[in-house]
Amino acid sequence: MTIGSSYNYPSQAPGLEKRKKRSPQEKWKARFPNPPDLCFDYRALLEQPGGIARATDSSHRICIIGAGITGLTAARELLRCGFTQITLIEQSSRIGGRHLTVPGSPQSKASHTPFEMGAMRMPLFNREGESPKEGRSLMAYYTTIFDLALSDFANPGSQWVKSTGIYLREGSLSEQATPQMLIWKNADGQTRPPGEELQAVYAKWRAFAYRMTRHVCDSYASEEWESVWAAIVARYHAISFRDLVSMPVLQRWEKDAPGDFGGMGMSPEESAIFYAIGIGDGSWGAFYDVCALYPLRTAIFGFSSHLQLVLGRVDEKGDPLPDSPHIRSNAVFDSTGLQFEGPRYLGLAALSESLMFIKPDETAMSFHEHSLQYREGLLTDSSVTRLKKLDSGKTRVYYNWKQSRPHQAQENFSDYDSVIMTLPSWLIETRIRLENFTVQMLPFEAINAYKTAHWETSCKVFAPLKKSFLSGNTAIPQAIVTDSFIHDVYTYRYNDHYSYDCILLSYTWEDDATKLCCFSDKELVAKCAEELDRILMNCSNIGQRISPFIGLNQAVVQRWITDKNSLGCAKLYRPGAYYDALSLMKYNREYSRVSGLYLSGESFSVDAGWTEPCFRGAIDAVIHICEKTSAQFNGGFQITDYPHYQAGP
């Protein structure tokens, strides 16, 4: 999405002012930029003393399925509210889910550059001139309370890289006599990409983004916002991103048609360029056939502005803070005595580890400490197989304990008053049987919506990078975007203290990742290095290989579609499927009181591949469990302050 990364919309949108003191009626309203569907300030609810609520039925039994970010957040906030009988079940022997940070040197006790094999670039929804941790997001809230260190992510085309190389059409885009890589240096964040062709594409994207963001900014959080967003959805939900790119430009926005901002008006040639370089942080071509609303949400509402790299819960040298729980432990254990992967507090994994191991101010213990006191608090290596609704109103949860060891596996079950489901929906369909849930509890429309959801594949190839590349190399750009099968190359440094930097040698999604599935990890690493060397040697203005800088034997490959704990990288939706996806976000309010089942996390969101919807889904479930159990909400919050999702044409 290289073409727009220097354009920090919407954080620089005209008319934005610093956050004003709100009236009591506006206390819980979000501010722009923020996701569009539910204009609610979740951070305001969580950051108040006491958090969301004070439980009046602390013995209400709650089971959370999945210890990814959604499940960990729900567990922490329920404990913070005063619920004491919480069970968190995780199929694998590590926590964090699709937040997967691989330590560069797993056998070493010294801190090393981590590889982010899953979520990587974090939007905190801060405005221009604000520090990221001032953003009105849950990501900003948690990075603040856990003291996580951040840095600006080295996105292609941004001022956070020394240069970006653009290699399209075998180096012939610039119409030079010999193949060349276009070099984009953007130290001030305002320099346009090189070449007439790229600048023409850039101008068309920017004109569209400016037109839409200006009007969205004016109406966001106002009384008319819900109707404006509904009009935008009605206009664009049935068309693909590919169609949006080629749709005619709207010459003038009309107040009588508030959802229509036209298209980008690109020619087939310009669309092919845009396919490869996108709008801000890598190739967007793989998403050309998804619903147009997904890239619009990403670009217009803050998901691609001021993206941050989470360094970890670390000091300036990159070493874990000495007060980090269990940092010196040789092993950590769940409630049954099974060992699971302990915390390192490096990279993004520090977020999930902090949710598990750091004590909230309102409680005597962290969730992990609580789980050791409560016999069924944390169950790892345990795969949920069935949910059975009982005549008593409880839900029986069946699970295979020690599931990774078939000769030792045991089927167990327990009964719960509430169950929070946080798994990727393909796992739900293929691994978990739902029994005795009536249509009044779980309508077929909801089941069909999560069964037919589209989960994208993604492939990452990370490797160590010699420090001499970023310190001394002057020929090879720091970031590279190509229309080759490797697509996007990122290099960046965590700090000078670590022994090496890192290179994301290839980053692909959808069909671009699927085409790499037939190669073994070793073959794929070699193939990516060979292709990148070929490209660089083919460019008359480069003529240098990058492979000598890369620790290819230490490379790590992650393919999310074949990960048995995920079966996909992120949930997307095709044209025409947006209302189905959105309807799942209404389930907790409309059905959970009767069903006792709460659907939570990215599977039941419309913001694919981001951490913020995981947080929000977790808090949504906690809010509704608190409401069901008559908990006393804090800060004057009432369930009537919580807005409704507007689903349906």
Residue 22: pLDDT above 90?
no
Q: Which of the four pLDDT bands, split at 50, 70 and 90, describes residue 206?
A: confident
CA–CA–CA angle 526, 531, 533 (5° rounding): 95
**What is the model's pLDDT at position 15?**
54
| 17: pLDDT strictly greater than 90 | no
Indicate the pLDDT class of residue 126, thresholds 50, 70 and 90: very high
Output the pLDDT for position 154.
Answer: 93
pLDDT for 434-462, tens place per residue?
999 999 999 999 999 999 999 999 999 99
| Sequence-ordered list of residues with C-beta below 8 angstroms from that of 293, at least 6 positions apart, any chain | 232, 233, 236, 237, 573, 578, 606
Other beta carbons within 10 angstroms of residue 492's beta carbon come to 21
- Residue pair 199/206 in contact (Cβ under 8 Å)? The answer is no
User: pLDDT band at 8, cuts 50/70/90?
Assistant: low
Give 371-380 pLDDT, tens digit per residue: 999 889 999 9
The Cα 449–Cα 467 span in angstroms is: 48
The percent of residues above 70 in pLDDT, for the chain, comes to 94
* Cα–Cα dist 190/206, whole Å: 12
The pLDDT mean for the chain works out to 91
Please count the other Cβ atoms lying within 10 Å of the Cβ belonging to residue 353: 31
Does residue 198 register a pLDDT over 90? no
pLDDT digits over 70-80, tens only? 999 999 999 99
pLDDT at 648: 61
Q: Cα separations (Å) of 130 from 19, 211, 530?
A: 11, 24, 42
Residue pair 333/340 in contact (Cβ under 8 Å)? The answer is: yes
User: How is residue 369 annotated by DSSP?
Assistant: H
| Position 354 confidence tier, pLDDT thresholds 50, 70, 90 | very high
Exposure string over 465-483, b if 16+ CB within 10 A, otherwise e: bbbebbeebeebbbbbbbb
Question: Whole-model pTM?
Answer: 0.95
In this structure, the number of other CB atoms found within 10 A of the CB of residue 520 comes to 9
Kindly list the structural domains of the chain, giving each domain's residue range(s) and its CATH number in brackets, ordered by start.
2-9+159-300 (1.10.405.40), 38-96+356-447+571-641 (3.50.50.60)
Is the pLDDT at 553 greater than 70? The verdict is yes
Give me the pLDDT at residue 69, please. Answer: 97
Asked which of 269-278, 318-327, 513-522, 526-535 is least confident by mean pLDDT, the reply is 269-278
Residue 3, pLDDT > 50, answer: no
Examine the pLDDT at 545 and tell me if it is beyond 60.
yes
pLDDT score at 16:
54
- Give the model's pLDDT for residue 175: 74
- Taking the CA atoms of residue 68, residue 321, residue 463 and residue 522 in that order, the dihedral angle to the nearest 10 degrees is -50
More confident residue, 360 or 12: 360
Residue 482 has pLDDT above 80, yes or no: yes
Mean pLDDT of 391-420: 95
Q: Residue 7: is its pLDDT beyond 50?
A: no
Residue type, 159: Q
DSSP H helical segments within 563-611, as ranges? 578-583, 587-590, 592-595
Q: What pLDDT does 5 receive?
A: 43
Q: What's the whole-number mean pLDDT along residues 569-587?
A: 91
Q: What is the pLDDT of residue 110?
A: 76
Q: For 427-446, give one letter per residue: b (16+ CB within 10 A) or e.
A: bbbeebebeebeeebbbeeb
Q: What is the pLDDT of residue 486?
A: 94
Is residue 392 predicted with pLDDT exceeding 50?
yes
pLDDT reported for residue 282: 57
CA distances from 527 to 117, 507, 519, 552 (A): 19, 13, 9, 11
Kindly state the average pLDDT of the residues 17-28: 60
Q: Measure the CA–CA gap between 497 and 543, rounded to whole angstroms.
A: 31
Q: Are 13 and 206 in contact (CB under 8 A)?
A: no
**Lowest mean per-residue pLDDT among 90-94, 191-195, 329-333:** 191-195
The mean per-residue pLDDT over the stretch 292-316 comes to: 92
| Per-residue pLDDT, 283 | 65
Region of poorest pLDDT, from 19-28, 280-289, 615-624, 632-641: 19-28
| Average pLDDT for 606-629 | 94
Give just the sign of the alpha carbon dihedral 152, 69, 137, 509: positive
Rounded to whole angstroms, the Cα distance separating 476 from 229 reads 44
pLDDT in tens, 410-436: 999 999 999 999 999 999 999 999 999
Q: What is the pLDDT of residues 318-338, one digit of tens each?
A: 999 999 999 989 899 999 999
Name the H helices within 391-505: 425-431, 444-451, 467-472
